[in-house]
Amino acid sequence: MFITIQSHEYSKHAWLTDQMYRLRKRVFADQLNWDVPVVGEYERDGYDAMRPVYLVWCDDSKQKLYGSLRLMPTTGPTLLHDVFRRTFPADVDLMAPGIWEGTRMCVDEAAIQADFPEIDAGRAFCLLLLALCECAMAHGIHTMISNYEPQLKRIYKRAGAEVDELGRSDGFGKYPVCCGAFEVSDEVLVRMRTALKIDLPLYRKTPRTPSPVVKNLIAAA
């Protein structure tokens, strides 16, 4: 299932957030060698202290994490404006209540392979993107903003996501960093579900909503 964890739910889902910070450390510090703050087995930064919303992919018992990303409103501090401001034109205003930033998107490939062996890493990211689109629509978000490296465009294309590259800049790492605006709409949602061959919602807005997702559905080619 795909659920959000808001600040008042951190304690309730402490085991999932613990796994999330560990996964982020393995992915961003150990595998990608990003310059991110690490304490012990955890990767956390100052934006995590600002009580963001986390979108997580977990099992039905909410004990095992498969993937996650962090969501923050652009009306407050964001990595986009504080760190990656050079990646989009100076005359572009990306601060509005309906525009949110998505960062630290990652999946646990080993956990997914153990429970969903038909799902490769690319499809796993696509499923997380689809859940993000559903989540954004459910909460009145019309645009998602993210910074990404150019090679990730193939994942967005595979997912059927609508991405408008606003700009890019060098000097952040081995590859340029792009700034993309992701449209959130009924049209985009239909396109993504068609591309991924998924008919039922992935995102569960409330714990009382029955989960519509089964393994053979999300693993479909």
Higher-pLDDT residue of 183 and 33 is 183
Identify the structural domains of the chain with CATH numbers, from first to last. 2-218 (3.40.630.30)
The radius of gyration of the chain's CA atoms, rounded to the nearest angstrom, is: 16
Q: Where are the beta strands (DSSP E) in the chain?
A: 2-5, 38-39, 42-43, 53-58, 65-73, 99-107, 143-148, 163-169, 177-183
pLDDT for position 213: 41
pLDDT for position 8: 94
Q: 48-62 pLDDT, tens per residue?
A: 999 999 999 999 999
pLDDT for position 211: 40
Mean pLDDT of 120-126: 96
Q: 26-35 pLDDT, tens per residue?
A: 999 998 888 8
Which percentage of the chain shows pLDDT scores above 90?
80
Maximum Cα–Cα distance for the chain, whole Å?
A: 47
Whether residue 189 has pLDDT greater than 80: yes
Q: Output the pTM of the full model.
A: 0.89
pLDDT for position 219: 53
